[in-house]
Amino acid sequence: MSKPVDSAAANVARVESAAGTHEFPIRSGTIGPNVIEISKLYSETGYFTYDPGFTSTASCESKITYIDGDAGILLYRGYPIDQLAEQSNFLEIAYLLLTGELPSKTEFDEFEHAITHHTMVHEQLHRFFSGFRRDAHPMAIMCGVVGALSAFYHDSTDINDPRQRLVASRRLIAKMPTIAAMAFKYSIGQPFVYPDNDLDYTASFLKMCFAVPTATYRVNPILSRAMDRIFILHADHEQNASTSTVRLASSSGANPFACIAAGIACLWGPAHGGANEAALNMLVEIGSADRIPEYVRKAKDKNDPFRLMGFGHRVYKNYDPRAKVMQQTCHEVLDELGVKNEPLLEVAMELEKIALSDEYFIEKKLYPNIDFYSGITLKAMGFPTTMFTALFALARTVGWVAQWNEMIEDPSQRIGRPRQLYIGHTPRDYVPLAER
C-alpha cells in the first residue's frame, strides 16, 4: 500500500492498493495539523492503519486544549498557559475548561459556591482508608477511593443525563483535594482534616494537608498561590495517555467515577504523571553536579534502560512552556521558605544546562517537561515524593472531566475498539496431552 498522497487541491488523500485507488477526505481544524479521515479505510481497502503509541493518530475532535509541540505553545480554550498561570486561578481554569469561556463574577461565584459545598466526602468513605497499610502509595489509595465513589453517588452516574453529568463533574473536582489530603494524612498517621469553606479551593487543600488539631493553621498566601499555579499547569493537556484512558473507559458507558479512577491508574506510570516522583528520586540519586556526566552517559546508552526523568515529551520538541513557569514557581517557593542553595535545584539546573548543550538531546529534541522542576517545589512545600503524582491527579481531574463531557456530547463518538496486526499462529489442530 503506497503512502497517502496529500492532494491539497483536491482536499483528499489518495491511497493506492491492489484494489485500486481510494480517496479519503482531508480535514482542517482551526489551528494545527490537518487530518486524513480514514474511518472507512478498512471497509474500502481491507487494510488497517498501524500506529503503535498513536504517534500520528487523532482520536477525536476537541475544543479544549491545543499544543504546538514544535513552538512550545499550550492553550486552554485558546488562552496561553503563561497568561493563565500569571493572571487566573485554578477554579476559574476549571470553569473555563468545562464551559469553554471565562466566567463572569456571578458565574464564578455560583461555580465556586457549588464546588465548595461538594468538598466533603461521605463519612463512611473514611473507613476505606483504614483498609490500606499505612505505607500504601497515595496513588494506590486514590485509585481505590475514587473508584469507590461510584458506590456512594448513584444519583450522578447516568452519563446520558446532563444534569447528573454536571453534578458528577462538580463532585469529582470538589472531592479530589479532600481525598488526596486524606491519603496524605493517612500515610503520616495524622487525623483527617475537614475542608474549610471559609478558604478558597487551594488554601482549603493546604489546610487539609498540613493543619493539625493541636494548633491554629494559617495558610501562607505565597505558597497557596504557588500551589494554585501548579494546579493550573497540570489541569489539562490534550489527548495524553491518561486522558485517552478516561475517554476510552467512558466510551463503553462506564460511570464517571470509574473512568476517572482509570485515568488515575494510567497517570501513575513513570513515563507519564509518575515522572515527577521519578524525577525527584533521580535528582536525589545523582546527588551532586559532579555525577551528572555519568547519568547523562547512562541516558544516552541504548543498552541502559535509564532515562532522564522529567526530560522529553511525545509532543513538545521544544521547551515545555509549563516547565518554564514551574521553574519560576520553584524559585519563588524556595525564596519564600528561605531555602538557600537547595542542592537538588542546583543539580537540576546543572543537569538541564548540560543536557541542553549535548548533541544527543539536541538531535532528539529532548527538553525538560513539566515534571522536571515540580518535585523540588512540592518537596520544599512539605509534600513527600509519593504525593507528587496524587497532586498531579488532583489537578488533572479538571481536564479529565472536561474531556469526558466533551466526548459524551460528541455525536460522532462511539465505543473505542482498535484492531491489530496479527502476527500469531495460523489455525492449527489441538494435540491431546498423551500425544505431546
Active site residues per annotation: 313, 371
* 68: enclosing H helix or E strand: strand 65-68
Helix, strand, coil tally for the chain in percent (to 5):
55, 5, 40
Q: Residue 275, interface with ligand SDX (CB under 6 A)?
A: yes
**C-beta of residue 16 within 8 angstroms of C-beta of residue 8:** no
At 364, which amino acid appears?
K
Stretch that binds ligand SDX, among 16-24, 101-109, 327-335, 363-371 (CB under 6 A): 363-371
Give buried/exposed letters for 412-435 (b at 16+ CB in 10 A, else e): ebeeeeeeeeeeeeeeeeeeeeee
113 binds ligand SDX (CB under 6 A): no
Binding residues for ligand SDX, rule CB under 6 A, total 22
Burial of 112-141, coded b for 16+ CB within 10 Å and e otherwise, reads: beebbebbebeeebeebbeebeeebbbbbb
Give residues with Cβ within 8 angstroms of 332, minimum separation 6: 222, 226
CA distance 99 to 402: 8
Which residue's CB is nearer to ligand SDX, number 112 or number 320? Answer: 320
Contact with ligand SDX (CB under 6 A): which of 309, 348, 401, 402? 309
Q: Which stretch binds ligand SDX (CB under 6 A): 115-123, 131-139, 256-264, 361-369?
A: 361-369
Q: At what angle do helices 275-286 and 292-300 cross, to 10 degrees?
A: 130
Q: How far is the CB of 368 from ligand SDX (least distance, A)?
A: 9
Q: With CB under 6 A as the contact rule, which of the stretches 210-218, 307-315, 378-386, 422-430 interacts with ligand SDX? A: 307-315
Q: Kindly identify the residues of this chain, within the stretch 235-254, that bind ligand SDX according to CB under 6 A.
A: 237, 240
Minimum gap (Å) between residue 246 Cβ and ligand SDX: 12
| 366 binding ligand SDX? (CB under 6 A) | yes
Contacts of 221 (CB under 8 A, 6+ apart): none
Q: Stretches 128-136, 255-263, 270-278, 403-411: which one binds ligand SDX (CB under 6 A)?
A: 270-278
Identified binder of ligand SDX from the candidate list 307, 336, 339, 408, rule CB under 6 A: 307
Does residue number 95 form part of the binding site for ligand SDX (CB under 6 A)?
A: no
Interface residues toward ligand SDX, by CB under 6 A = 53, 237, 240, 271-273, 275, 299, 307-315, 364, 366, 369-371
